[in-house]
């Protein structure tokens, strides 16, 4: 769980003992679940990036040979 203060945009994993913001003492905190990083989406992104690079390099080599 992550806390985000709406008053001072403090972000942290902990809040004050009474649930207040650690930075400014405001009670205007929003609790947000920690977003889970999808390991598959990261892999797809890297594969796409590598594919794009291979395409670019192939294009450059093709241009040099013609
Ligand atoms: Zn705050």
Provide the whole-model pTM: 0.46
Residues, CB within 5 angstroms of ligand 1 (ion): 5, 7-8, 10, 21, 23-24, 26
More confident residue, 16 or 39: 16
Cα of 28 from ligand 1 centre, angstroms: 7
Cα of 26 from ligand 1 centre, angstroms: 5
Cα of 54 from ligand 1 centre, angstroms: 47
Intra-chain end-to-end CA distance of the chain, in Å:
58
At 19-59, the pLDDT tens digits run 899 999 999 999 877 667 677 788 899 999 999 999 999 99
How far apart (Å, rounded) are the C-alpha atoms in residues 15 and 8? 13
> Which pLDDT value is given to residue 34?
65
Q: Where are the domains of the chain?
A: 1-35, 38-66
DSSP 38: -
């Amino acid at each position: 769980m992550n806390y985000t203060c709406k008053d001072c945009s403090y972000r942290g994993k902990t809040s004050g003992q009474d649930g207040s913001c650690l930075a400014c003492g405001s009670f205007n905190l929003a609790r947000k679940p920690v977003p889970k990083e999808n390991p598959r989406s990261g892999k797809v992104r890297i594969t796409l990036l590598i594919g794009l690079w291979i395409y670019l390099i192939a294009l450059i080599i093709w241009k040099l040979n013609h």
